[in-house]
Amino acid sequence: LIAQAGGPANRPADTRVRLVRGGQAAEIRLDQLRVDSPANVRLAPGDHVQLIRSVRSLTVLGSARNVAELAFDSDTLTLAEAIARSGGLADDRADATGVFVFRYEAGPDGASKPVIYRLNLLDPRSYFLSQRFAMREKDVLLVANARSVQFGKLVQLLNTLVTPAITVDLLTR
């Protein structure tokens, strides 16, 4: 039916198919809908099919080269791929020991709880872990600032405050 109607306006990975039948609704991402899948059902009279644009993404913050919202281009996206798509860590300001993933996980009681994962890229084992760590929709990837960045900001502030005084002193001599 979707193909006969001209197909989706957006990428299949960014499109959800909603089928409403008899007051009940079911959804699936279009790129997961296969011809031989049990989710590919025969339509019945009175069914309503909707295509909904729903871009799955995560947010990259901090000292990554590109702070941005990254869309999932496939079913899965690993932490290593997310770091690479953000341009990697900014060499001059990132703390390689402080790469964090913030997300909500379902607890034992079913309630959603915030969880923080930390990755130390100075440990070679972390690269293997990052290739297995699956990112999820709405995750936040934060690359921490290096401690030296704070010191550099202090030096820059002091320079801004002291330079005019030194200039005035030199001019009045």
As a whole number, the mean pLDDT across the chain is 86
Domain range annotation of the chain: 12-53, 57-150
pLDDT band for position 149 (cuts 50, 70, 90): very low
Q: Check: CATH 3.10.560.10 for 57-150?
A: yes
Question: For 28-32, what is the mean pLDDT?
Answer: 86
Task: Give mean pLDDT, residues 114-136.
Answer: 95
Say if residues 51 and 83 touch (Cβ distance below 8 Å): no
Q: What is the mean pLDDT of residues 145-172?
A: 62
pLDDT at 69: 93
Long-range contacts from 77-80, C-beta under 8 angstroms, 24+ separation: 77/134, 77/135, 78/130, 78/131, 78/132, 78/133, 78/134, 78/135, 79/119, 79/129, 79/130, 79/131, 79/133, 79/134, 79/135, 79/141, 80/127, 80/130, 80/131, 80/133
Average of per-residue pLDDT across 97-101 = 94
